[in-house]
Amino acid sequence: MAVDEAIARMAGQGRVPPTLRFYAWDPPCISLGRHQPIADIDVDKAKAHGLDVVRRPTGGRAILHVDEITYSVAGPADEPRLRGMVMDCYLRLSEGLTRGLERLGVHVYKADASARAGPDVSAACFEVPSAYEILTVDGRKIVGSAQVRKREWVLQHGAIPLYGDIARLVDYLALDEEVRHALRDALTRRATSIERALGRTVTFEEAARALAQGFSDALNVEFTEGTLTPEEQELARTLEAEIYTQTDWTYRV
């Protein structure tokens, strides 16, 4: 999370180019939305099973990051592909995700602009889609995304399950057993992975290539592979120490 924000801040200052990043999580991790209460998570159980718990700089609800590819897009707030209102930007980036998934053979569409999570929605991100999030043709959510906009920079990132049990998150939510069972059933019906959609396994590298090309086509941009600059690495370490590893950030109620 610190690296995502560091890239966004540096790009907002014009010190690095707008960046599309792909990554995975080691060890597996539960990430909370910026304003989500820590009470939603059974932290002791998560840690007992080797899971980290972090809080994102973006909104939304909990995601279990395992067996997935995570993307992030970061750049200046006035960059033509990122400027405007949140939903304007969301729509442009959703087109990149859609084209990338289609290149893999996953037939998808974007949720309606009116799609919103209601007040009674669960703590799990993948239970219901928000506006312009990506669904397979049978209506299952396959990408969970969130965005934060500041005066100088924009960051959007999201998770795409490659394979595995999409409902595993419910084991680590603070729920009674009856509710847990119902939510597990709901997630199984309403969310999916690339493997489940295609009937075959897709590697991280294959997914990254397809998604990069999808963003390239949708945004009319050519990407150059790169690595973090020393300045980005230094800022990421600072953000990690001052924000993302702080108890009052991660464990806020």
Catalytic annotation, residues:
125
Residue 10 CA: distances (Å) to CA of 7, 94, 216: 5, 24, 22
Give the number of residues written for the chain.
253
Q: Give Cβ neighbours of residue 13 (< 8 Å, ≥ 6 apart).
A: 152
Find where tokens 């963003």 sit.
215
**190 within 8 A of 126, measured Cβ to Cβ:** yes
Mapping DSSP onto H, E and C, the string for 224-253 reads CCCCCCHHHHHHHHHHHHHHHCCHHHHCCC
Residue 85 burial (10 A CB sphere; 0-12, 13-18, 19+): exposed
Find where tokens 């990430």 sit.
31
Pair type for strands 63-65 and 144-149: unpaired
- C-alpha span between 183 and 193 (Å, rounded): 17
